[in-house]
């Protein structure tokens, strides 16, 4: 299997694609992880989990506790024994980035692709490509939430139409600003549920506490029109009133006319509000 191409990495993709199946899945090969790799996982897990009580949404905290993955790189089969009965999802190991059509097909069948390699020591704070820590720690806990579980399946099924209408960038922004970089309101506080945030120590704090960042109420059309950053903190975050809002706001929306109206328009710059928009910035009570 040849490596897929991507415009998010200029240095070439990592991962061993030789021997991958047609759907880009591979064995996790858990026994190949070294003690140093497991120790690296433990440090990453300890650093990020220390932030969850203060910053992560309830579903993430509860899901992380159920998966119980603090002691080392988890076995996907063990996680699947929890995910399957709960929401019907399964983790499948992949070498790294996979083609869009393959990714959508996995999601449409409740299979979440998880990169099997772990970042190097010098990449603890940042890396462009997703690794096993980002994919498992960031995403797997949320697969136990019924709203996210259902949304991801529907998102996967929407991929074919977006590709056929040459509107994939618009659909990708929905995923980026929710599953990767989404915020949700819980009571009077903002909480993180996006994996791209919760797997990054610095952006977790920045997304909630920085007074200069633009936070907007979730609006699917606005989201689909908004560009995003792939190599820096986000300049715009969208806030859900609840996780079920993902389903409520998107299921009844006919994406076809939205794609036709906006697919050829330049993306709105991240970090800039439109006339008449009111930023979402409720006062957040900080706990010591």
Tokens in use for 236?
């715009």
Average pLDDT along the chain: 92
Q: What is the pLDDT of residue 12?
A: 59
* Gap between the Cα atoms of 70 and 108, Å rounded: 29
- Could you tell me which residues come within 8 angstroms of residue 224 by beta carbon, excluding any fewer than 6 positions away? 170, 171, 173, 174, 258, 262
Question: In the chain, count of helices (H) and strands (E)?
Answer: 12, 6
- How far apart are the C-alpha atoms of 248 and 90, rounded to whole Å? 24
60 DSSP 8-state letter = H
Looking at the chain, the whole-number percentage of residues with pLDDT higher than 90 is 84
d(CA 21, CA 28) in angstroms, rounded, equals: 13
Q: What is the pLDDT of residue 282?
A: 57
State pLDDT tens for residues 258-267: 999 999 999 9
Q: Which residues partner with 112 through β-bridges?
A: 91
Residue in 197, 91, 89 with CA at minimum distance from that of residue 149: 89
At a CB cut-off of 8 Å and minimum separation 6, what does 19 contact?
1, 26
Report pLDDT digits (tens) over 98-150: 999 999 999 999 999 999 999 999 998 878 789 999 999 999 999 999 999 99
Percentage of residues of the chain with pLDDT beyond 70: 93
18 confidence band (pLDDT: 50, 70, 90): confident
pTM: 0.92
As a residue count, the chain comes to: 288
Residue 7 pLDDT: 46
Spatial separation of the C-alpha atoms in residues 268 and 167, rounded to whole Å: 15
Q: Across residues 9-36, what is the average pLDDT?
A: 86
């Amino acid at each position: 299997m040849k490596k897929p191409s991507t415009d998010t990495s200029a240095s070439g993709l990592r991962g061993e694609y030789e021997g991958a199946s047609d759907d880009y899945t591979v064995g996790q090969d858990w026994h190949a992880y070294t003690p140093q790799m497991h120790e690296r996982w433990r440090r990453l897990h300890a650093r990020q989990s220390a932030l969850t009580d203060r910053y992560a949404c309830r579903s993430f905290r509860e899901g992380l506790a159920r998966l119980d993955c603090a002691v080392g790189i988890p076995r996907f089969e063990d996680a699947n024994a929890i995910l399957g009965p709960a929401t019907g999802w399964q983790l499948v190991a992949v070498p790294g980035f996979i083609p869009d059509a393959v990714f959508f097909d996995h999601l449409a069948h409740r299979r979440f692709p998880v990169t099997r390699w772990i970042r190097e020591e010098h990449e603890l704070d940042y890396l462009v490509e997703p690794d096993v820590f980002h994919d498992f720690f960031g995403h797997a806990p949320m697969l136990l939430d019924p709203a996210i579980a259902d949304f991801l399946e529907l998102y996967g099924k929407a991929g074919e139409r977006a590709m056929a209408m040459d509107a994939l960038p618009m659909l990708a922004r929905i995923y980026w600003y929710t599953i990767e970089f989404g915020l949700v309101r819980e009571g009077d506080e903002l909480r993180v549920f996006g994996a791209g945030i919760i797997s990054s120590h610095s952006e977790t704090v920045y997304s909630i506490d920085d007074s200069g960042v633009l936070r907007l109420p979730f609006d699917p059309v606005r989201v689909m029109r908004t560009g995003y950053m792939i190599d820096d903190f986000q300049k715009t975050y969208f806030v859900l009133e609840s996780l079920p809002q993902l389903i409520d706001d998107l299921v009844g929306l006919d994406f076809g006319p939205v794609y036709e109206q906006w697919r050829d328009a330049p993306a709105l710059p991240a970090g800039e509000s439109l006339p008449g928009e009111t930023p979402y910035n409720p006062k957040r009570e900080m706990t010591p």
